[in-house]
Amino acid sequence: MGWALLGVGLLLALYTLLRHGLRSAPRPRGRPELRGRTAIVTGGSSGIGAATALELARCGARVILATRSARRGEAAASRIRRPPVCPQETGNNEVLFMHLDLASLRSVRAFASTFLRQEPQLHLLINNAGVSAGGTTEDGFSLPFQVNHLGHFLLTQLLLERLRSCAPSRVVIVASSAHCAGRLRPESLGRPPSGLFSTFQDYCDSKLANVLHARELATREQGTQVTCYAVHPGFVNTALFRHAPPWLKPLLLPLAWLLFLDASEGAQAVLDCATRDGLEPLSGRYFTECGPRLPWAAGRDDRLARVLWEGSERLVGLGVAGGHGEGHQGGHGEGPAAPTAQ
């Protein structure tokens, strides 16, 4: 019996150490006043996006939940708008759903066109939505690369003039420490990689693209008061894991439940980059645990950031001269520590 109790005690101690190490959520800061400011949160109906949208609404912002599912998006917006009886409600009536499917460049353009027609202001663009599943989109690109990077790249470009006109404004890109394993090759940009772990590699590549997108956007927007930040929210237990291989889920899901941050904890790092005063000199940097950190070497490669930008413009059909105006309709056809992934 004594040995059994000792074993249980050691397991509990190990669990506590691991939980403390992995679940080091940043402490929430004071709630900023955001009345009169408008925010878009992609993927705002669940996970980190929903938690971010909820907190922005609590601060008084007008929040657009840009999601693919009308049912989930409307339900999330309705829940946040209700009078505050439970923690998921705010009484803020300026929380709206707008359809956005980042796996369709047509949908991205339609969303931007509708938003620019209906909403006169934009101060915060939270590029949060993400997938880890493999596959190919209707536009012919890798699903993770288009949803996690390319769709957000096009969205940001189409809304950039509105962000400038409402400056000071911010773009926050939810990246991941998985960028450490990312590899971007100009000649195969947007194509699914091959190999045994191609889906994981695809995800890592898209997260490297997130880090480099923030870096290059900050460089190009110097002097405009539009700033940009890539943020790793930590180890977060989100629906992203539903795309894990079936053989891995029995191990991964219990670990995620026991050790990872919940969505509201993960959202704190995103909210910090979106609302903390004085971050402007750090535009383009990579953040984790509410502080700037050096990304892995590829994430600091300015040449690669430029190549990615130019390749992304080409893939979505935005010319260098015409890619920054509101509602531009250029088209690609109609149709130093390193944890693991977000």
- Say which amino acid occupies 106: R
**Residue 81 is assigned to a structural domain of this protein:** yes
Residue 6 located in a structural domain? no
Q: Within a domain: residue 19?
A: no
The pTM is what? 0.82
203 belongs to the catalytic site: yes
- Residue 263's CATH number: 3.40.50.720
Asked if 62 and 40 touch (Cβ cutoff 8 Å), the reply is no
Separation CA 225–CA 277 (nearest Å): 13
Looking at the domain assignment, is residue 309 inside a domain?
A: yes
- The one-digit pLDDT tens for each residue of the chain (342 residues) are 444 443 433 444 444 444 445 555 555 566 899 999 999 999 999 999 999 999 999 999 999 999 999 999 999 999 999 988 888 888 999 999 999 999 999 999 999 999 999 999 999 999 999 998 889 999 999 999 999 999 999 999 999 999 999 999 999 999 998 899 999 988 889 998 887 788 889 999 999 999 999 999 999 999 999 999 999 987 654 555 555 555 555 555 555 555 557 768 888 999 999 999 999 999 999 999 889 999 999 999 999 999 999 999 999 999 754 334 443 333 333 333 333 333
CB 337 within 8 A of CB 202: no
**For 36, left (φ over 0), alpha (ψ -120 to 50), or beta?**
left
Is the residue at 121 inside a domain?
yes
Residue 98: give the domain boundaries.
32-316
Task: Name the strand (E) or helix (H) holding 51.
Answer: helix 47-58
The token duo for 152 is 């957000």
Distance from C-alpha of 44 to C-alpha of 130, rounded to nearest angstrom: 11
Q: Is residue 44 included in any domain, yes or no?
A: yes
Give domain status of residue 231, yes or no: yes
- What's the number of domains the chain is made of? 1
Within 10 A of 330 (CB to CB), how many other CB atoms are there?
Answer: 16
Match 């992609």 to its residue by tokens. 42
Question: Is residue 227 in a domain?
Answer: yes
Angle in degrees, CA 33, 39, 45, rounded to 5: 115
